[in-house]
Structure 1
Amino acid sequence: MRDRSCLRLPLPLVLVAAAALVACNRGDNEYKPPPPPSVHVSQPLKRSVTEYFELTGNTAAINSVDIEARVQGFLETIDYHDGSPVKAGTQLFSIQSNTYVAQRDQAQAMLASSQAAQVGRQQEYDRQLNLMKQQVTTQTNVDAAKAQLDQANANILNSQASLQLAEINLGYTKVLAPFDGIVTKHLVDVGALVGVSGPTQLATIVQVDPIYVYFNVSEPQVLAIKQQLAKQGKSMRDVDLPSVPVEIGLQSEEGYPHKGHLDYAAPQVDAATGTLQVRGVLDNQNRALLPGFFARVRVPVGHLDNAVLVRNDALGTNQQGNYLLMLGKDNVVEQRQVKTGQRDGQLRVIEEGLEPADWVVTEGVQRAIPGATVAPEQVAMDAGLTLAPQPATPPVTPQTTPAPAKATSP
């Protein structure tokens, strides 16, 4: 049998080992606070910013005209492809013309007859004048010859007018495009009788280059524009509308890629809606814009030389409005309510509540709890951002007096 006496330890040694084990376990269970969360902090940017009104509107064709048959007859040809672009003067339809050719020829014959009769009347009148000088005829005969000559001259004018009308009606048998544009599908087929009881619509032609955008400015915005102009010592009539740029973007587009200028503002505010209608015109050579599109519209209305900006994703929202998380004394996070302005790309203008020397939490916002201590890392506010381009010249505030509108086809 194995001797167990060698496994026995002295009692004092056992007590020392037990005390050491208890002390070790007490150290492992002691609470150690976690390190402060790491966040990025940045000072606001100061830069020039163009102030805009951001509105909504709709695009509209600069010209849209119904193509109609103005004379009666059978439709003989359709000379375009549905939906194709055409130039001004291009023949679109032809209407049966033999009737109108005959009417023109008849009018020409009547004119020739009137001219021949006028020659005879002129000769008779001249003969009567010579006889009067020889005292062979009477004044009554001279007057009668003069009346017949006048009647012959009037018949010529009447025949010329009839011929002109006949040529006009003959011209209506060739239906031409009144301006450059795109023609819709034809509404009447070849062989149909048109123009029987009045003009018959054959198609519609739409001009989309350039193109209009219509939008409404609210009454408070109109008053704000007037106030800004008053500060500059100007009034509405001092601004030329075509000098005011307008930019639009579609629902599927980022930003405002389509550029143009204003060309009309209504002379009065609509009392029913409290808005003023404004129109811009834009180049549309590639037909990227179609009439009827919903559009986001941006119009410059002012300029800030030293605007204070922060990243838009650094802003939070509560019941009081927008706020920023700030780095306070001893790296303690503070929440501060601010008044925001317009967006400038990925930045936002801060109108009140922020100083250029403040440090704003820009990344790690979820870990920055007001009242808690953080480990800040200083970075630039615009790090990794794509900033909006700055205009070369300050924008001009639009006027609300109407500019001369471009003439449209009847």
Structure 2
Amino acid sequence: MLRVGLIVLALLAGCSGSEEATQSAPEVTVQTPEVRTIVDWDEYTGQFEAVESVEVRARVSGYLQQIYFREGSIVRRGTLLAQIDPRPFQAALAESRAALQGALTRRDLAVADLQRAELLLSEQAISQEEYDARVQAQRETQTSVAAAQAAVRQAQLELGFTQIRAPVTGRIGAREITVGNLVSGGGPTSTLLTTIFSVDPIYFTFTANEAAYLNYYRQNREGSRPSSRDVANPVRLRLQDEEAFVHEGRMTFVDNRVDPDTGTVEGRAIFENDDGLFIPGMFGRLQLLGSSEYEAILVPDAAILSDQSNKIVMVVNAEDIVEPRTVELGSLQEGNMRVIRSGLARTDRVIVGGLMRARPGNPVVPVVADEPAEAEAAERQNATDDAANAS
């Protein structure tokens, strides 16, 4: 009887210890990785630049008589921007026209002399030498007429250059000089009047490192993703105050060299800009199509931890023991889901909630997060735990 009582007490003590062990194991939220067919989008930082940019400079020298544009406004190609005093050029044109008229008169006289010489030569009234001289004189007058006509055209051009017009459609900049100043033109030191940058469409330039270039090249050779040199691959963009990549464009250019100073290759995309939101010099974040479709496993980005230079996730094994797994990360997808390239199986139970309570090698009580709302709540709990631990 005494022996039976001792056995019962021992069993009760064992059950009590087991219950205490179970109660001491923390509760965590787990979730198996999501399997999804995706494409990768590679991200780059870059700047906008105008498709057409022009420094408006004087082509002739003279006094600036009038400015017609409003700074910062949109101007159309051919719009009159400024006027240089045309009077000296009008006088030069009149002079060249007078010189042309004199050359025409001399040519007509030479033609008449040649006709008379032909008649006299047929009657042997003049020598062949005199006839040849009149032929030469007539040819010289023709040359003089051609030179005078060229001078008239040059004078007309210079008079036209006194009206400075917009060479492209775009947004005009500030005035660099005011009315009444003497401007110089026609040379490398011509006076800068203003600048014009085209608005719609607009370029976005960025650089990719050599490893990315090699990846794209090999994908193109394998036929899984065409090169942006040959195909206008899609791109998406967001500005610094935007959360999502809401602007869509396409690739237009990939440089033909790797910059030896930076080890990068320049790329360029083009975007529609009919509302004028984008301006040259503005920064943005761009996503470029980085792969063809493939099947990937994803976990919540909040479930990924850092261990020195490695990225790890915590999983619960078949004995409900916490195990760290070193993983290779891929791109971040919509819904804050991170692609896991290696290190994780589809059946693994990943800890997505209560990470601060999970210790490698310790037992836990896993609770499955079946619904997306539960996973989101687990992520919020992770943030709460982190904040509490920091305080």
Could you say which TM-score interval applies, normalised by the shorter chain?
A: 0.7 to 0.9
CA positional deviation for 1:241 = 3.9
Q: For residues 52 and 194 of structure 2, what CA distance do their matches in structure 1 show?
A: 14
Q: Give 1:342's aligned residue.
A: 331
Answer with 168-177 or 108-117: which moved more.
108-117
Indicate the SS of the match to 2:174: coil
* Aligned mate of 1:225, from 193, 216, 239: 216
Q: Distance in 2 between matches of 1:258 and 1:76?
A: 44
Q: Are residues 137 and 162 of structure 1, via their aligned partners in 2, closer, same or farther at CA, if it must alter by over 3 Å?
A: same
The answer (yes or no) to whether the contact 1:40–1:379 under 8 Å persists in 2 is no
TM-score normalised by structure 1 residue count: 0.79
What is the distance in 2 between the residues matched to 1:240 and 1:274?
19
Map 1:119-138 onto structure 2 (within 5 A).
Answer: 119-138=108-127
Please say if residues 303 and 352 of structure 2, whose CA atoms lie closer than 8 Å, have aligned partners that are also in contact.
yes
Match in the other structure for 1:103: 92
Residues 235, 255 of structure 1: alpha-carbon distance in 2 compared, 3 angstrom cutoff: closer
AA paired with 1:348? Answer: R
Query: RMSD of the TM alignment (CA)?
Result: 2.7
Kindly indicate whether residue 259 of structure 2 is the aligned counterpart of residue 270 of structure 1.
Answer: yes
> For residues 225 and 281 of structure 2, what CA distance do their matches in structure 1 show?
35
* 1:307 equivalenced with 2:304 (yes/no): no
Change in 2 beyond 3 A, CA 1:241/1:253: farther
For structure 2, the residue ranges without an aligned partner over 5 or more in a row are 1-15, 377-391
Map of 1:150 onto structure 2: 139
Question: How do residues 175-214 of structure 1 correspond to structure 2 at under 5 angstroms?
Answer: 175-195=164-184, 198-214=189-205
Question: Hey, what's the Cα distance between the residues in 1 that align with 2:373 and 2:138?
Answer: 94
Q: Residues 146 and 177 from structure 1, CA distance in 2 versus in 1: closer, same or farther, beyond 3 angstroms?
A: same
Pairing 1:380-399 to 2, within 5 Å after superposition: 380=371
Post-superposition offset of 1:94? 0.3
Query: Aligned-pair distance for 1:360?
Result: 2.1
Within 2, Cα distance between the matches of 1:114 and 1:162?
A: 12
Segments of structure 1 that go 5 or more residues without pairing to the other structure are 1-29, 386-410
In structure 2, relative to structure 1, the CA distance for the partners of 1:361 and 1:329 (3 Å cut) is same
Give the conservation status (yes or no) of the 8 Å contact 1:69–1:195.
yes
Q: Does 1:56 align with 2:54?
A: no
Structure 1 equivalent of residue 7 of structure 2: none
Mark the CA change 1:159 to 1:269 in structure 2 (over 3 Å): closer, same or farther: same
Query: Is 1:293 aligned to residue 308 of structure 2?
Result: no
Q: Name whichever of 156-165 and 52-61 sits farther off.
A: 52-61
Q: Distance in 2 between matches of 1:173 and 1:69?
A: 8
Which of 1 and 2 has greater Rg? 1
Percent sequence identity is: 28
**Cα separation, 1, equivalents of 2:279 and 2:223:** 38
1:171 to 146, 150, 160: 160
* Contact 1:65–1:205 under 8 Å retained in 2: yes
Which is further off, 338-347 or 196-205?
A: 196-205
CA-CA distance at 1:306 after TM superposition? 0.9
In structure 2, the partner of 1:254 is 243
- SS of 1:71's equivalent? coil
Secondary structure, aligned partner of 1:302 = coil
Cα distance in 1 for residues equivalent to 2:140 and 2:24: 116
Q: TM-score, normalised by structure 2?
A: 0.82
8 Å Cα contact 1:242-1:261 kept in structure 2: no
Shift of residue 135, structure 1, vs aligned partner: 2.8
C-alpha separation in 2, matches of 1:126 and 1:164: 31
Secondary structure of the residue that 2:49 maps to in structure 1?
Answer: strand
After TM superposition, the structure 1 stretch with the greater mean CA deviation from structure 2, 192-201 or 308-317, is 192-201
